[in-house]
Structure 1
Amino acid sequence: MTAHAHPHAKAAVPTVDVHAHVLIPEIEALVEGAPGLAEARTLDARRNGPTALAVSGPMVRDRLPRLTDPAVRLAAMDAQGVDIQLVSPSPSHYHYWADEETAEKVYRTANEATAAHCSAAPDRLRGLGLVPLQHPDRTVEALDHALAQGLAGVEISSHAPGRELSDPAYEPLWSRAGETGAVVFLHPFGCTLDERLDRWYLSNTVGQPAENAVALSHLIFSGVLDRHPGLKVLAAHGGGYLPTHVGRSDHAWSTRSDAGASCARPPSSYLRRLYFDSLVHDPHILRELVRVAGGDRVLLGSDFPFDMGTEDPVGALRAARLPAADFEAVRGGNAAALLRKD
């Protein structure tokens, strides 16, 4: 039974999936032949390994209609009982290798195409744009451009070449995101452990949660979250390894002067300042995430429509056997509050 078939669907808070992607062919067309693309593809191939690339190609092709056609997306959402999706560009569109001129074309195309995709069903689709992390001084204008398209915020990776999210160059971005109420969706793409993860798809299964943990640790330990209390960071993949191992961070913070030098409180306390999607593939880990971050900080996420996501996000949430209030909050209440238009 879909959410729409439910007799009380109108009165209930809608079911909201905050982790869903759109593929934008125009972006790949505009970067084709650009200096740096071949090198970036070579690095990507080295990090993932040949077997992973051989599996991923057909997987993405099989999902192209769901990634590009709003009607196909909406039908799939109906089948899943999902009322609203927060749609972000495929992370393959980051192109953080690009020069300034190309990077501007990428973010403008991403923002406009995502907004156009969502405009097919504005009551059911909200969107996120992109900012060029490799050009920190262009990130605020890119965020403003995304918001001007009616998007809810932007999606970023865990780092840019040579820059961590703790880099002072990003302070204007965090300030602007905080004052506008923009959502910053932290979704890693590419792990710097490189060919250590080039077999068995470790580049994703180990790489993504590791990158999440590193990026969130940079935001916490550097004091970014102290300086920008209004910042709304939503971490994909349940925040990766950090929420379940944050005790180690707290221990370092309280024991070592270098670890505790730049943030005001124990690292675990900042989990209640962040938002996390529910995509952890284990009901016990999801329960733990809700325990450490709070029932008001976890939001339903599926990674629609990729194979590392879940076909049944509500079922995966139900399997965690949360208290009813937490279940309803994660299913849609928290997203409704986070995405509320002023």
Structure 2
Amino acid sequence: MTSTAGHRAIDVHGHCVPRSFLEDVAGSAPRGVAVASSDDGYVVTLPRGLVLRPVRGAMIDGPLRGAWMDAQGVGHQVVAPWLDVQGQELAAADGARWVTLLNDHLAAAVAADARLSAHATLHLRDPEAAAVELRRAIGELGMRGVMLPCTLPDGRLADRGFDALWSVAVELDVPVILHATTRSPAAALLAEYPSLRGLFARHVETSLVTAELIVTGVLDRFPGLKLVNVHGGGLLPYQTGRFDNDLGDGARRLPSEVLRTMYFDSVLLTAPALRYLVDVMGADRVLLGSDYGATPTERAGVSILSPVRDLDDAAAEAVARGNAMRLFMGLTQTGLGNNYNHAIHHQTEHLAFLVDRMRAAGASRIDVSLEAEAWYERLVADRAMDDRAFWDQCIPSRLNNQGNVDNPHGRTAGRFPGSAIDFWELMADWRSGPAGELVLS
């Protein structure tokens, strides 16, 4: 790879537990839950004395994360709490309150850092309630995807009861990330070998759960469901031949065909493994991932982009950035429905905020959030850039000078308040400027 700019890479698989969430639940935890703090982190204990792994270091340290992203060449990271703190073991009502609080705190955390976006967490004892929370997380909190555990305390993701959740995920066009846990039957087989449990049991768990979703017809009932398999997809990408031979019955799509509708992250750490994944699944189906906060990728000398650079330029660009922009960052009429104009309002307000910051600082350029950059790219794709009537409807009046008689709505759609900056000139500058920067000429 020679053309992909490192600072533009998007890591879609990071983990973050907001410190504010842990401090909040420490004082208001459900019965049977305890949160103990220490100098280096927090320990959460769930009902029946289940003590979770300590939450500390990279998982809760924002400056440490930012320094790691800079060193790795990552411009943006999409984060989710690690699976331990999702609270799936809690009763339905307690669990619903737990994830609502968790989503609220994570949304606030990423709102304070333009380099971060978030995946939602759902409590899955009540799939219909989970579907309601998914709508809130996407529509109100602006989250980009949802991360689900492969293994549940009760039930299985392939159960028909989850159809309500899959239906909403398809309707909202939300990517669903499947992530293995530490408490699966596969993990129990390796209980005496913790390092092997983390290394191999998760791949077995991912493979079995994904295979079950395929053979039970979930992906046939919901062909628009966008599933993302982490850790390179476990064993499945490397066993497609046997999968088809043993389970392909001719009555529906071959398992390998269904697999190629999914996405896979690059948390494989070696160039040959990633190259094989790209060859089998396609460069358009692989996303850059790190598992940051929970893996050896934080160790010195490990580069998540190094294996990507072994690919040809087009594939490297797709894996490092392009696929994530398309899957997680694009604003689409289908995905946002009636919220499309609301999203335009939000991003236009963000632009105005950036312009104000630039003027106050006397700067001619500033980094923009990835959401704003994706928003602009989407507008270009929608051919909305030159649609003045569209903008006249979408730009909120409070962003514009008032009383222009040439405008039937009584405002100038191309001006920011109290400034001589023309929106259309601003967009032209952005179109010609470096990626990730807003430039005033």
Q: TM-score range by the shorter chain?
A: 0.7 to 0.9
Q: How many residues align?
A: 309
**Contact 1:111/1:145, CA 8 A, preserved across alignment:** no
Deviates more, 1:329-338 or 1:184-193: 184-193
- For residues 164-219 of structure 1, what are the alpha-carbon distances to aligned partners after superposition, in whole Å with 9 as ceiling and x for unaligned? 21110011111100110112111111221344212332221111111110111122
Cα deviation for residue 39 of structure 1 reads 3.0
Aligned-pair identity (%): 33
Q: Which residue of 2 aligns with 1:315?
A: 306
Q: 1:116 to 1:285 in 2, by over 3 A?
A: same
- Counterpart AA for 2:294: F
Say whether residues 1:33 and 2:32 are aligned partners: yes
Say whether residues 1:273 and 2:261 are aligned partners: yes
Cα deviation for residue 106 of structure 1 reads 1.5
Which stretches in structure 2 are left out of the alignment for 5+ residues?
35-44, 333-441
- For residues 42-87 of structure 1, what are the alpha-carbon distances to aligned partners after superposition, in whole Å with 9 as ceiling and x for unaligned? 7x7xxxxxxxxxxx65xx53x2xx3224343222211111001011
Q: 1:237 to 1:40 in 2, by over 3 A?
A: farther
Match of 1:219 among 210, 213, 227: 213
Q: Which residue of 2 aligns with 1:72?
A: 64
**Contact 2:4/2:313, CA 8 A, preserved across alignment:** no
Say whether residues 1:302 and 2:277 are aligned partners: no
**Contact 1:129/1:153, CA 8 A, preserved across alignment:** yes
Look up the SS of the partner of 2:308 in the other structure: helix
RMSD: 2.5
- For residues 124-180 of structure 1, what are the alpha-carbon distances to aligned partners after superposition, in whole Å with 9 as ceiling and x for unaligned? 211011111222221101211211211012110102123221110011111100110
| Separation (CA, whole Å) in 2 of partners of 1:238 and 1:39 | 34
TM-score, normalisation: structure 2 = 0.65
TM-score, normalisation: structure 1 = 0.83
Greater relative contact order (CA < 8 Å, ≥ 6 in sequence): 1
Look up the SS of the partner of 2:14 in the other structure: strand
Deviates more, 1:157-166 or 1:288-297: 157-166
Say whether residues 1:333 and 2:322 are aligned partners: yes
- For residues 90-119 of structure 1, what are the alpha-carbon distances to aligned partners after superposition, in whole Å with 9 as ceiling and x for unaligned? 111122111122111121112111111111
Match of 2:128 among 137, 141, 144: 137
Cα deviation for residue 32 of structure 1 reads 6.6
**Contact 2:186/2:205, CA 8 A, preserved across alignment:** no
| Separation (CA, whole Å) in 1 of partners of 2:220 and 2:268 | 27
Match of 1:184 among 163, 176, 182: 176
| Separation (CA, whole Å) in 2 of partners of 1:217 and 1:72 | 37
- For 1:39-188, list aligned pairs within 5 A: 39=48, 41=50, 57=54, 61=56, 63=57, 66-122=58-114, 124-147=115-138, 148-188=140-180
Deviates more, 1:18-27 or 1:212-221: 18-27
- Counterpart AA for 2:32: G
**Contact 1:31/1:102, CA 8 A, preserved across alignment:** yes
| Separation (CA, whole Å) in 1 of partners of 2:108 and 2:275 | 36
| Separation (CA, whole Å) in 2 of partners of 1:18 and 1:317 | 14
Q: Which residue of 2 aligns with 1:247?
A: 241
Say whether residues 1:198 and 2:181 are aligned partners: no
- Counterpart AA for 1:232: K
Which stretches in structure 1 are left out of the alignment for 5+ residues?
1-5, 45-55, 255-259
Q: 1:186 to 1:8 in 2, by over 3 A?
A: closer
Say whether residues 1:231 and 2:211 are aligned partners: no
| Separation (CA, whole Å) in 2 of partners of 1:303 and 1:177 | 23
Q: 1:39 to 1:242 in 2, by over 3 A?
A: farther
After the TM superposition, which parts of structure 1 deviate over 6 Å for at least 4 consecutive aligned residues? none
Cα deviation for residue 282 of structure 1 reads 3.0
Cα deviation for residue 8 of structure 1 reads 8.8
